[in-house]
């Protein structure tokens, strides 16, 4: 069996982004960060003063939005229509707003189409919350990456501090706890492991170890 589609789901700060990128690199696959797509919609909605529960406006915004990843000398860049928004979407505010609008059907419906289109070519690692459960239930291998809340909060805090965002560890921990809870209890595509996902706890593992565990499962699967 040749592996074409790999999904990696899990809560924020579990290390999904770095791990998924490295796994894709090692396999020569494309990597798609679907959280970035939700953040992109959030950025546009927020800049237009749209309330997170205004379904009609969200539907209109999505109708005019073209999202694409482009590979260049600076790595993968995300464009919303013509704007490069790669860095702008990485704030805590956008993360919280992305979580809020991700519960709305207009947004999920729009991004379901965008994601499935991106998956058509195969050989892709998709990272998100509902990749293995809703978007690609037929994926060849599914992973669910988790870690305890304190470890995840510390990782995210270090990331934000490196980008000079003014925040504290306690604030990051609280925001993360709320966001994970909201993502898990929403009616539409809640965050949860697919029944056939391989579950990995990264609390006491470093990035390279997680990548190795994932690659060894993939090697087993393609034997």
DSSP string, 118-146: HHTT--EEEEESSIIIII-TT-SEEEEEE
Query: Could you say which of 15, 20, 45, 99 contacts ligand DC (CB under 6 A)?
Result: 99
Using CB under 6 A as the binding rule, whether residue 7 contacts ligand DC is answered as no
CB of 181 to ligand DC, least distance (A): 10
Spatial contact of 141 and 217, defined as CB atoms under 8 Å apart: yes
Tell me which residue of 117, 155, 121, 148 sits closest to 135, measured CA to CA.
Answer: 117
The pair of three-digit structure tokens given for residue 72, joined into one six-digit string: 């260049």
Site string for ligand DC, 126-145 (x = CB under 6 A): --xxxx--------------
Q: Which residue is nearest to ligand DC (CB)?
A: 35
Which segment (60-68, 91-99, 192-200, 213-221) binds ligand DC by CB under 6 A?
Answer: 91-99
| Residue 131 vs 210, nearer CB to ligand DC | 131
Q: Which residues contact 197 (CB under 8 A, 6 or more apart)?
A: 7, 9, 132, 142, 143, 144
Which stretches of the chain bind ligand DC, using CB under 6 A?
Answer: 12, 34-35, 38-39, 95, 98-99, 102, 128-131, 179, 183
């Amino acid at each position: 069996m040749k592996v074409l589609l790999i999904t990696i789901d899990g809560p924020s700060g579990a290390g999904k982004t770095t791990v998924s990128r490295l796994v894709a690199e090692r396999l020569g696959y494309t990597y798609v960060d679907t959280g970035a797509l939700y953040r992109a919609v959030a950025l546009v909605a927020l800049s237009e003063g749209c309330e997170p529960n205004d379904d009609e406006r969200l539907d209109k915004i999505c109708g005019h939005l073209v999202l694409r990843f482009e590979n260049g000398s600076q790595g993968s860049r995300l464009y919303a229509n013509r704007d490069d928004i790669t860095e702008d979407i990485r704030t805590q505010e956008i993360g919280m707003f992305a979580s809020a609008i991700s519960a709305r059907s207009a947004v999920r419906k729009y991004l379901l189409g965008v994601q499935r289109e991106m998956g058509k070519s195969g050989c892709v690692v998709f990272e998100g919350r509902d990749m293995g459960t809703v978007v690609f239930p037929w994926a060849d291998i599914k992973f669910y990456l988790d870690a305890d809340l304190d470890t995840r909060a510390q990782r995210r805090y270090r990331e934000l501090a490196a980008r000079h965002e003014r925040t504290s560890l306690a604030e990051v921990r609280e925001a993360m706890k709320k966001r994970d809870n909201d993502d898990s209890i929403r009616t539409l595509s809640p965050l949860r492991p697919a029944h056939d996902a391989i579950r990995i706890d990264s609390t006491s593992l470093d990035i390279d170890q997680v990548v190795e565990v994932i690659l060894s499962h993939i090697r087993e699967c393609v034997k």
